[in-house]
Amino acid sequence: MDIIIAVAILGGLGLIFGLVLAAASKVFYVETDPRLDQLNECLPGANCGGCGYAGCGGYAEAVLNGEAPIGRCASGGNECAQAMASIMGVKAEVVTRKVALVRCSGEKHYDKDGNLTSGARVKAKYEGFKDCLSASKVGGSGPLSCKFGCLGFGTCVKACKYNAIKIVNGVAKVNEDRCVGCMSCAAVCPRKLIVPVEPKRNVVIACASLAKGAVTTRGCTVGCIGCGLCKKICPQEAITIERNLAIIDYTKCDNCGLCATVCPKKLIKDSNVEKL
């Protein structure tokens, strides 16, 4: 009999609490905008953070509330942007696809005796955590002689959700066919080497060294020395030398490639976003 009473009491309490919760859900119900679910359906669900928000849900809510512009989802691209614009009843600008470019050409190549023949010079052997940020804080500015070059410990590789980056001869390289341009890799690079560029860009200067020419040469055999030959030959005046580094203005560049023919370091290539 005691067991039956206990079960009845528990059942009664459960029924009462259930009724209270049901009533509370009615009282405190907050109607959600149906467009939020529609916006979420437009997004790829990668939660890469490239839009500046914690995930796709956060970005969708920000767009709905007018706190973020449409077109920030690099993974979704133009199709995603146009779909979101249609839901919001606005017109979106065409989103041009971008891919990540690692501004370093210092791949290390050695002869049969182990001597460096080209690339970035290593000033010390690093045996710490296999992480670029950790390595950059060791020995002043890291194990490389060039304090601007890719450290090659793969922090960007770990951050990429699309398997679009590999370390090749000590330098991160991007596979443009897999890259969606979310720039998660750029967010974790301690040397800020990774920038967005248009895919299949014929002419790129993959170097970020701001050191003077002599210093750059001591640290890397292929670094930009700021000689200005590329600037002089460019018919579109698309190249400037800023703080010892050649910079291309892609709004002026017509991809003629003349700059690549005169670069003494052979640094300017047809494309540094290589297919792996």
Structural domains of the chain, ranges and CATH numbers in brackets: 35-88 (1.10.15.40), 99-269 (3.30.70.20)
> Which among 11-20, 27-36, 188-197, 201-210 has the top mean pLDDT?
188-197
- Indicate yes or no: pTM above 0.85: no
pLDDT of residue 29: 59
User: Residue 250 carries which DSSP code?
Assistant: T
- Which position has the higher pLDDT, 3 or 121? 121
Q: Which amino acid is at 199?
A: P
pLDDT of residue 273: 39
Q: Where are the beta strands (DSSP E) in 39-189?
A: 99-102, 109-110, 116-118, 165-168, 171-174
Confidence band (pLDDT; 50, 70, 90) for 276? very low
- In this predicted model, what pLDDT tens digit does every residue of 123-135 receive, in sequence order? 888 888 889 999 9
- In this predicted model, what pLDDT tens digit does every residue of 176-215 receive, in sequence order? 999 999 999 999 999 999 999 888 777 889 999 999 999 9
**DSSP reduced 3-state for 92:** coil
With CA atoms as reference, report the closest residue to 242 among 269, 271, 207.
207
CA distance 185 to 187: 5
pLDDT of residue 271: 46
Q: Which amino acid is at 36?
A: L
CA distance 176 to 84: 25
